[in-house]
Amino acid sequence: MKRPRSTLLPVLPLLLAVLLGACVPAGRDDAPRASVSELSRSVGFYPDQSGARWEYLPADAPLDDPKLIQQVEGPRVVDGKTLISHLTRGTGADERKFRSIDGNGVTLHARSVPGAQTTFDPPVQEFPAPGSLRRGASWNGTTTATTHFPAAKPEHRYETRTVRYAYTVVDRRSVRVAAGTFDVYVLNLVTDELDEDGTVASSMTQELWYSPYVGEVRTVGDYFLTGFNFEPVYPE
């Protein structure tokens, strides 16, 4: 957590810091670099460990193309709840999703993009309890998605939509992507936006590949796993 900067800092330590900083030699290409590692344990069936990171590319994209990055930032307090922040960035994306991850599965409470934050009431059930993820499993729900636009005019600061979703595990198979070969569950996701009468105003169908103890191998945006920064630990 960042501490607020004090306006009462002593002058002498600040001056020394400036002078010492001025004496640091210019960086060299062969000089050791500072590194930060947050992973202290395996990521679990559903990843929630701070520092876990995944890289993705579209199918057939050159491996040196800019990657889509997903990473677990760790716990954050959102509307009074302590949730796990997952950041997605790169290739034009800049999004955070705030989830709870426990023995009941994974639920999505909120998401934010620059200039807007959406909350879901009730939260969206993205994955079931670990023991319930199997071929043929299905779960669904309806949520009210409320989006807040802080910079908009007062009359346009909030937008509310009713969303219905349904997940079905349609298959379990072995797949090979740039990051390796994985045993995945293939999930079909259907999302419907409902109008005021409860009629479907728009509908979208997407596919997701999920590998326990690894994470998403194929995202709903059709990006495929090219690498990650941890060693999966499977139960014996």
**Cα 78 to Cα 20, 61, 95, 98, 116, distances in angstroms:** 39, 36, 15, 8, 14
Mean pLDDT across 18-36 = 50
CATH number for 40-228: choose from 3.40.720, 2.40.160, 2.40.360, 3.90.550: 2.40.360
Pair 100, 80: CB distance under 8 Å: no
For 175-230, how does the pLDDT look when each residue is reduced to its tens digit (9 = 90+)? 999 999 999 999 999 999 999 999 999 999 999 999 999 999 999 999 999 999 99
Joined together, the tokens standing for residue 213 give 């103890």
Domain borders along the chain are: 40-228
pLDDT at 146 over 60: yes
Cα–Cα distance, 200 to 196 (Å, whole number):
10
Q: Does residue 25 carry a pLDDT above 70? A: no
Tell me what the mean pLDDT of segment 160-182 comes to: 98
Per-residue pLDDT averaged across 156-162, rounded?
97
Q: What is the pLDDT of residue 47?
A: 87
What string of DSSP letters covers 123-177?
EEEEE--GGG-STT-EEEEEEEEEEE-TTS-GGGSEEEEEEEEEEEEEEEEEEEE
As a whole number, mean pLDDT of residues 54-70 equals 97
CA distance 151 to 115: 7
pLDDT, mean of residues 149-171: 97
Three-class SS of residue 18? helix
* Single pTM value for the model: 0.82
- Taking residues 156-160, report their average pLDDT: 97
Whole-number pLDDT of residue 37: 52
Distance CA 209, CA 181 (A): 12
Distance CA 38, CA 49 (A): 8
